[in-house]
A and B are shown apart, each in its own frame.
Chain A
């Protein structure tokens, strides 16, 4: 008797998660797809009852999103910004993780905590700090750097710097904890074979880290494509960032400023699809290369 009674328990334990999943994930996704395939049709002057009707338009909104020049400019900006952020942030994260793990470093604990610290600073606050540091009237950086850090040609770099500052420590710690889990005698063996610290890092540590690097890269790609907080927060401080600087900012504008929910829904699905394609594409390229080498 106890056995059949026990069978119901796991389902009971999983009920809260499944209910939340249905309400806040499945239903909204379904609703986005539904919205993305509809549009308001206005007949006559759009006055009176029934003049505005919601009709099914199939894939028209997607076609419009793919053909939208403003959106493409956003994609190009995010592509440039993302390439910069990903290479610098993950490069630094890897460098710092390897340095922390090498036996020759002093003040390792202090450095580790200091570099991870920006993780505790919300994106809005981080952008605000750097934004003020970029302001010509306040910036101590202006004493050493004679450029307008919020100008049209520099603002992408300035924004990338905020993302690098905020994200390096987290990725560094992810890679560092993976390194710490590796048995130390593996390095001792390499040292006995005459390998230098640099060779150990390149030939032993980086290959072991590869899965962790791939994982952090994929999550960074997904986060970068959805960039919203930093450009939105920086906007009040400069006129070089448009309200459609990134694709997600355009989704926000369409949905909540111009009130075109249908376009916004279609665009957000396109963003989701592109992040999925890029993540899977990255995984594929990496896997193919791994096979070539192996």
Chain B
């Protein structure tokens, strides 16, 4: 009986996939859990599949052919989108990569170094610094947005790349995660051994600690990358010049400009499709790094 196996057998069954689960299927309600989950999967995949189909349709096909069929206009849609306003869509894509990639890299570096210092050194004020930094989690983005904009304006930095990049580097929850990872992944004995061998503290961090923390840093990087890629409020407030927009704000302006002109719908839908492809690709390739047990605090 499948239900009464011993613990190791159950563990093996989990690892080995679904080989031993056949027995469950014979019960009348046995397929219900699978069916429910598949319903959930269909619900989640449906809009993505639909936009894939819609992006293949030429403007006339969009309204005339059945909604769930392929069209013939994909390449011309892409061509039109890239020609739109002298290729501003390319610019948006490049900007997004810069904001998300650069921001996530810097954020991961700052978090890793801070987390390592907090986990591996005893020094006066450590708890106070940690509490103050972590307290930042509780501050809603709303409270920061307006004064950040005003302060950036004052220093002539509003409507620059810095205005979107800099405020997203500090991420309190990532510092917390980095501290947890550093405490778990970097053994004190290794640090002591390296010290006895004459390694300086800077070298110790760069050559011993950070390499050991790499898997944790990949997770932090991924979450930051997605968070910045998805951010709308900050660039929406900070930027006026659409040449500096990321894709989210660009898509919004495309929609705001074209919502009443069905002729532009195919452009908007193709833009939406192309803007989610890279993230979905990243998401699928980096599957095994999404560890939300430690990151359930990341507010989407």
**For B249, what are the chain A residues with a Cβ–Cβ distance below 8 Å?**
124
Shortest CB–CB separation between residue A67 and chain B, in angstroms? 20
| B44/A104 in contact, CB under 8 A | no
Give the interface size bracket for B toward A. 35 or more
**For A96, what are the chain B residues with a Cβ–Cβ distance below 8 Å?**
36-37, 40
Shortest CB–CB separation between residue A247 and chain B, in angstroms? 8
Mark each residue of chain B from 37 to 51: 1 if its CB lies under 8 Å from any CB of chain A, else 0. 110111111011011
Give residues 93-120 of A contacting B (CB, 8 Å).
Answer: 95-96, 99-100, 102-108, 110-111, 113-120
Give residues 217-253 of A contacting B (CB, 8 Å).
Answer: 219, 222-223, 225-226, 228-229, 232-233, 236-237, 248, 251-252
| B38/A111 in contact, CB under 8 A | yes
Q: Which residue from A25, A167, A176, A177 sits with its C-beta under 8 Å from B136?
A: A25
A256 touching B43 in the complex, CB below 8 Å, given contacts A25-B170, A104-B24, A120-B279: no
Q: Kindly state whether residue A181 has any CB partner on chain B within 8 Å.
A: yes
A212 touching B296 in the complex, CB below 8 Å, given contacts A169-B44, A233-B252: yes
Shortest CB–CB separation between residue B70 and chain A, in angstroms? 14
| A272/B139 in contact, CB under 8 A | yes
- Main DSSP-derived SS at the A contact region: helix
| B291/A177 in contact, CB under 8 A | yes
**For A140, what are the chain B residues with a Cβ–Cβ distance below 8 Å?**
50, 67-68
| A261/B150 in contact, CB under 8 A | yes
**For A122, what are the chain B residues with a Cβ–Cβ distance below 8 Å?**
229-230, 232, 247-248, 275-276, 279
Mark each residue of chain A from 112 to 136: 1 if its CB lies under 8 Å from any CB of chain B, else 0. 0111111111111110111111000
- Main DSSP-derived SS at the B contact region: helix
**For A10, what are the chain B residues with a Cβ–Cβ distance below 8 Å?**
117-118, 121, 123, 126
**For B151, what are the chain A residues with a Cβ–Cβ distance below 8 Å?**
27-28, 31
**For A178, what are the chain B residues with a Cβ–Cβ distance below 8 Å?**
293
Q: Kindly state whether residue A16 has any CB partner on chain B within 8 Å.
A: yes
A14 touching B114 in the complex, CB below 8 Å, given contacts A24-B170, A114-B41, A123-B232: yes
Give the interface size bracket for A toward B. 35 or more
**For A264, what are the chain B residues with a Cβ–Cβ distance below 8 Å?**
146
Question: Nearest CB to that of B269 among chain A residues?
Answer: A132
Q: Which residue from B6, B47, B280 sits with its C-beta under 8 Å from A130?
A: B47
| A138/B282 in contact, CB under 8 A | no
Give residues 1-46 of B contacting A (CB, 8 Å).
Answer: 2-7, 10-11, 13-14, 18, 21, 24-25, 30, 33-34, 36-38, 40-45
| A104/B30 in contact, CB under 8 A | yes
Shortest CB–CB separation between residue A177 and chain B, in angstroms? 4
| B205/A173 in contact, CB under 8 A | no
| A103/B255 in contact, CB under 8 A | no
Mark each residue of chain B from 127 to 150: 1 if its CB lies under 8 Å from any CB of chain A, else 0. 001001100101111111111111
Q: How far is the CA of A108 from the CA of B292 in the complex (A)?
A: 17
Q: Kindly state whether residue B62 has any CB partner on chain A within 8 Å.
A: yes
| A120/B280 in contact, CB under 8 A | yes
Q: Kindly state whether residue B78 has any CB partner on chain A within 8 Å.
A: no
Q: Kindly state whether residue A271 has any CB partner on chain B within 8 Å.
A: yes
Shortest CB–CB separation between residue A120 and chain B, in angstroms? 4
Q: How far is the CA of A89 from the CA of B229 in the complex (A)?
A: 23
| A125/B146 in contact, CB under 8 A | no
A265 touching B146 in the complex, CB below 8 Å, given contacts A13-B114, A233-B255: yes
Q: Which of B111, B138, B252 has the most CB of A within 10 A?
A: B252
A95 touching B36 in the complex, CB below 8 Å, given contacts A125-B276, A128-B272: yes
Q: How far is the CA of A25 from the CA of B237 in the complex (A)?
A: 17
Question: Nearest CB to that of A170 among chain B residues?
Answer: B300
A21 touching B280 in the complex, CB below 8 Å, given contacts A28-B147, A184-B11: no
| A13/B116 in contact, CB under 8 A | yes
Q: Kindly state whether residue B83 has any CB partner on chain A within 8 Å.
A: no
Q: Kindly state whether residue B167 has any CB partner on chain A within 8 Å.
A: yes
Shortest CB–CB separation between residue A16 and chain B, in angstroms? 5
| A31/B48 in contact, CB under 8 A | no
Known pairs A114-B45, A133-B47, A166-B300 / 15 extra A-B pairs, C-beta < 8 Å: A10-B117, A13-B205, A21-B132, A21-B170, A31-B151, A104-B33, A106-B18, A111-B41, A118-B44, A123-B248, A132-B51, A140-B50, A171-B296, A187-B10, A226-B141
Interchain residue pairs with CB less than 8 A apart (13): A28-B143, A28-B148, A103-B24, A104-B30, A105-B33, A107-B41, A110-B41, A113-B284, A137-B63, A137-B262, A140-B50, A255-B149, A272-B142
